[in-house]
């Protein structure tokens, strides 16, 4: 089963720093922040007034107007990113067996705005005025369901929910199902849109968010000593995964090979990571083992890097547990320094960041890194991109509930002729 190679052939991304892979890549290269004042609602009374919103997103550019009205924003973002990924992959669906194409998309929270809006209707106008579309609009699996409906994909289809590890788990599940032979192609990734009154209020009350309201673009500062919390963001990252045999048969462009995956849990606390980082480090080790990758071959780590006090120092410790002294020689950077934290969509967007850096020959920076933290002492590629060839990388996502999900990718090398 593990001998079946799985490759990435399509990319779709809608994020606070770009609504296409080209815009996204340019922003990564420039170290551009997508964080600004919240415009989706009046946040004047909130302790945090900033977020990473997707600017100028019009769902009707991607989706029929009537259909779009019956989708929560997180579903709209996911469907739009899927359209971009499928277009980018150059899949000719008229020639494909659609029963062999699946969809697995993760989200940490789902249709929170729909829930909040309809709860207000219930309280103000009574139960008979609640929308009949409440349930299908709010549920997390509807991203995959709507993508399947849009393209008539009748293969494996479900949603994944593991907080901020959701899209890495979705991608990892897709890898294993493709290896097992359950599909030829799987559309996978994550989508999230929880910048809502109740979503922001909840994270504010948990004291998880940065309160650097006077400097939005400088608020997300992973691994910096003066970090004060993460910045909530929205968006979607979707990739097209295929078996190598299927991709080569149709002459597809291959971005990279997805070769390793692992998931563990801290079993420690509902929101805080385990202080020793043991389960997070074990997830990294198992992902490398799954991909048959010696630690000497890893030349870049895309960190979870949330800009919270506990995550950044514990993740640094976990990296050291895996790589030992070599940890100091591996560039580590956090996409969240620019995008903010896309919660359940973060892992997929960060994988796309790796793929674009791999293609363009640079490592994107961790911006806003100004004051070193003695407990965070690795090479975080501070503030400016670094020209480099990435041949093998890992990406970590850690979520509330103790979830750890790690994926490994490497530059594609065609199989040797026999």
Active site residue 246: no
Active site residue 259: no
- What per-residue confidence (pLDDT) applies to 167? 97
The pTM assigned to this predicted structure is 0.96
pLDDT at 250 over 90: yes
Give the active site residue among 204, 246, 341, 403: 341
**pLDDT tens-digit series, residues 378-392:** 999 999 999 999 999
Give the active site residue among 204, 259, 304, 357: 304
User: What average pLDDT does this structure show over 223-240?
Assistant: 98
pLDDT at 418 over 70: no
- What per-residue confidence (pLDDT) applies to 47? 97
- What per-residue confidence (pLDDT) applies to 271? 86
User: Quick one: residue 133, left, alpha or beta (phi over 0 = left, psi -120 to 50 = alpha)?
Assistant: alpha
pLDDT band at 415 (very low <50, low <70, confident <90, very high): confident
Give the active site residue among 164, 204, 357, 376: 164
**pLDDT tens-digit series, residues 44-102:** 999 999 999 999 999 999 999 999 999 999 999 999 999 999 999 999 999 999 999 99
pLDDT band at 285 (very low <50, low <70, confident <90, very high): very high
pLDDT at 1 over 80: no
What proportion of the chain, given as a percentage, has pLDDT over 70? 99
Active site residue 269: no
pLDDT at 192 over 60: yes
- Taking Cα atoms as reference points, which of 237, 196, 223 lies closest to residue 28? 237
Angle of helix 112-125 versus helix 197-205 axis, rounded to 10: 110
> What distance, in Å, lies between the first and last C-alpha atoms of the chain?
20
- What per-residue confidence (pLDDT) applies to 132? 95
- What per-residue confidence (pLDDT) applies to 417? 64
């Amino acid at each position: 089963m593990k001998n079946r190679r799985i490759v990435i052939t399509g990319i779709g991304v809608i994020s606070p720093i770009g609504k296409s892979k080209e815009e996204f890549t340019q922003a990564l290269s420039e170290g551009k922040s997508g964080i600004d004042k919240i415009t989706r609602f009046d946040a004047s009374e909130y302790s945090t007034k900033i977020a990473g919103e997707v600017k100028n997103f019009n769902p009707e550019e991607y989706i029929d107007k009537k259909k779009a009205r019956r989708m929560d924003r997180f579903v709209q973002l996911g469907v739009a990113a899927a359209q971009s990924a499928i277009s980018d992959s150059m899949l000719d669906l008229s020639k494909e067996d659609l029963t062999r194409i699946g969809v697995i998309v993760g989200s940490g929270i789902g249709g929170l705005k729909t829930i909040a809006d309809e709860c207000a209707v219930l309280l103000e106008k009574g139960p008979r005025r609640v929308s009949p579309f409440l349930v299908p609009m709010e549920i997390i699996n509807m991203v995959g369901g709507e993508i399947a409906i849009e393209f008539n994909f009748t293969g494996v289809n479900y949603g994944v929910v593991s907080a901020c590890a959701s899209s890495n788990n979705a991608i990892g599940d897709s890898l294993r199902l493709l290896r097992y032979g359950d599909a030829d192609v799987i559309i996978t990734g994550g989508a999230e849109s929880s910048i809502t009154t109740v979503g922001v209020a909840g994270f504010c009350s948990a004291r998880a968010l940065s309160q650097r309201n006077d400097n939005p673009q400088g608020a997300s500062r992973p691994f910096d000593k003066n970090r004060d919390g993460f910045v909530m963001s929205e968006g979607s990252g979707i990739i097209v995964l295929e078996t190598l045999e299927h991709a080569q048969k149709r002459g597809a462009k291959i971005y990279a090979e997805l070769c390793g995956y692992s998931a563990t849990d801290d079993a420690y606390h509902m929101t805080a990571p385990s202080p020793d980082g043991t389960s997070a480090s074990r997830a990294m080790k198992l992902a490398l083992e799954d991909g048959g990758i010696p630690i000497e071959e890893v030349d870049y780590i895309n960190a979870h890097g949330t800009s919270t006090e506990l995550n950044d120092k514990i993740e640094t410790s976990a990296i050291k547990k895996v790589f030992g002294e070599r940890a100091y020689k591996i560039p580590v950077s956090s996409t969240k320094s620019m995008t903010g934290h896309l919660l359940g969509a973060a892992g997929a967007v960060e994988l796309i960041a790796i793929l674009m850096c791999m293609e363009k020959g640079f490592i994107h920076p961790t911006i806003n890194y100004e004051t070193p933290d003695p407990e965070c002492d690795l090479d975080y590629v501070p503030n400016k991109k670094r020209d480099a060839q990435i041949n093998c990388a890992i990406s970590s996502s850690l979520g509330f509930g103790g979830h750890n999900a790690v994926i490994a990718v490497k530059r594609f090398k065609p199989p040797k002729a026999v």
